[in-house]
Amino acid sequence: MLRTRRLSSVVGLAALLVPLVSVLSYVPRGGVPEAEGCGGNGLAAGWGTLHLLRAGFDDDQVEDVATDGFFVFGGRARGLSGDAAIASVDVKVTDEAGELVPGRVAVLREGPEGSDNLLLGWSADRALEVGDQLHGVIVEQAPRSGVEPLRAELDLKVAAVPSPLEAGELEIARWVDFRHGVGERVQCASASTGCSSLSVPSAEEQRHAFVAQWRAPQHVGYVAWRLELVEEGESGAVLPAARDFFVGDDPFLGVTSFALSRPEYCVSIKIRDLHTGQEAQSEPLCAEPEPPARGEVETDTSVGQCPEPPNAALVETWCRLNPDSTRAECAPSTETGAGGESEANATTSALRGSGGCQAAAGAAGGGSAALSLLALALLRRRRGPAPQR
């Protein structure tokens, strides 16, 4: 039976995990380390790391691909984009007889310097035969003087024709108590980022919000999909940043918040294939607002990183984001619930405030990408034969 992948997710109670992507060959660049978030520094363009995305953790595992041979690789790069990025690597794919399989490299994702900020894809120029065994070798071109070129390899098996693009399944994982920053900005010292000060909105508005969960459709081998939530109707939605889905990482989306005056909220998900350019969009998902889960509070500002509440309007949110604080204004209420625990002590925080110096100096909604990292946990992958629908 043809093996396909359907990636699934379950909501965790405590652990907060980033998407799981293991590598077949991960080769860090030696030499002077580069500080995270530092720009330029006069260093030449080139690769800092180079690896191959894959679904498992076994370095010897043969990866399935479709008959187009498509697979994804990349890593941390500086000053590379477009044609320069393509020319920076030499990709050779051979068949079982050692014959070269003609193909081409394309840029899939370019982003600011950071982990996996540059991702490329290779695909064959002609349709391959199901059952073909392939071997791929990627070598960095023109590395800096005195540095060995980075290299990565993987083995591939052609499993089936490419899967048609489908929208997958969108559902609401949980509702959250969300505070959206508004008003003029105020300054506070930074408690954790190392910045001399932070700039945060001086007020907030409470919004209905939920964490959306997306379940990938069945597919063969590698994909390169960009996932974007779309507001359906006029609800004043603040949507999370688009996310990219390739292979091996269980997909989840961030927090979507809405104006409080709507009896029902609707969103859909749009998928754009970065490899083929095709698009698909789901039917709208609509739901009436529900009480937030577990008394959590989330925000799109950095107020939780301030060493104390910046003003009286932000005291409640700051205290809930800092549940261990001993400040007098954060003292637990004497009122107890059914379980005998005070409401304040029962409150836990899913977010310590998003962003750092740059995020805090930007728009109030700029922390949505960080929120998505805190969405869902304890992810599990289903492997083996395709589940029956």
The band of 334, judged by pLDDT with boundaries at 50, 70 and 90, is low
State the pLDDT at residue 58: 60
Domains of the chain, earliest start first: 19-30+44-160 (2.60.40.3780), 169-334+341-382 (no CATH)
Average pLDDT, integer, range 131-141: 94
| pLDDT attached to residue 305 | 87
Query: Could you tell me the pLDDT band of residue 269, with boundaries at 50, 70 and 90?
Result: very high
pLDDT value at residue 136: 94
The predicted structure's pLDDT at residue 386? 37
Q: Does the pLDDT at position 18 exceed 80?
A: no
Q: Is the pLDDT of residue 46 over 90?
A: no
| pLDDT at 3 > cutoff 70 | no
Is it the case that residue 359 has pLDDT exceeding 50? no
Percent of the chain with pLDDT over 90: 26
pTM of the model: 0.68
Quote the pLDDT of residue 252: 66
Q: How confident is the model at residue 157 (pLDDT cuts 50, 70, 90)?
A: very high
183: which 2 tokens? 């008003």
Mean pLDDT value across residues 120-142: 94
Rounded to an integer, the average pLDDT of 148-153 is: 89
| Alpha-carbon span 267 to 260, nearest angstrom | 16
User: What whole-number percentage of the chain has pLDDT above 70?
Assistant: 67
Provide the pLDDT for residue 55.
62
Type of residue at 104: R
Say if residue 300's pLDDT is above 80: yes
* Distant-in-sequence, close-in-space partners of 316: CB < 8 Å, separation ≥ 6: none
Confidence (pLDDT) at 221: 83
- What is the pLDDT at residue 8? 32
Dihedral sign for Cα 283, 218, 211, 300, please: negative
Query: What pLDDT is stored for residue 25 in this prediction?
Result: 33
For residue 250, the model assigns a pLDDT of 56
Check whether 137 has a pLDDT greater than 70. yes
Calpha distance 271→225 (Å, rounded): 6
CA distance 375 to 174: 9
DSSP for residue 384: S
**Residue 189 pLDDT level (bands cut at 50, 70, 90):** confident
DSSP string, 99-167: -B--EEEEEEEE-SSSTT-EEEEEEESSPPPTT-EEEEEEEESSPPTT-PPPEEEEEEEEEESPPPP--
Residues 298 and 350: beta-carbon distance below 8 Å:
yes
Written as one string, the DSSP assignment of 244-287 is EE-SSSPP---EEEE-TT-S-EEEEEEEEETTT--EEEPPPEEE
Reply yes or no on whether the pLDDT at 234 is more than 50. Answer: yes
Higher pLDDT, 49 or 55: 49
Name which residue leads in pLDDT, 279 or 18: 279
- Contact, 346 vs 333, CB < 8 A? no
Q: Considering the chain, what is the average pLDDT of its residues?
A: 74
**CA-based max dimension of the chain:** 77
Q: At 219, is the pLDDT very low, low, confident or very high (cuts 50, 70, 90)?
A: confident
- Token duo for residue 3: 């093996």
Most confidently modeled of 187-196, 247-256, 325-334, 337-346? 325-334
Specify whether the backbone of 59 is left (phi greater than 0), alpha (psi in -120 to 50) or beta.
Answer: alpha
**Of 290, 322, 283, 328, which is closest to residue 305 (Cα–Cα)?**
322
Query: Residue 112 pLDDT more than 60?
Result: yes
For the stretch 81-101, pLDDT in tens is 888 899 999 999 999 999 999
Which has the closest alpha carbon to 368: 267, 242, 249, 261?
A: 242
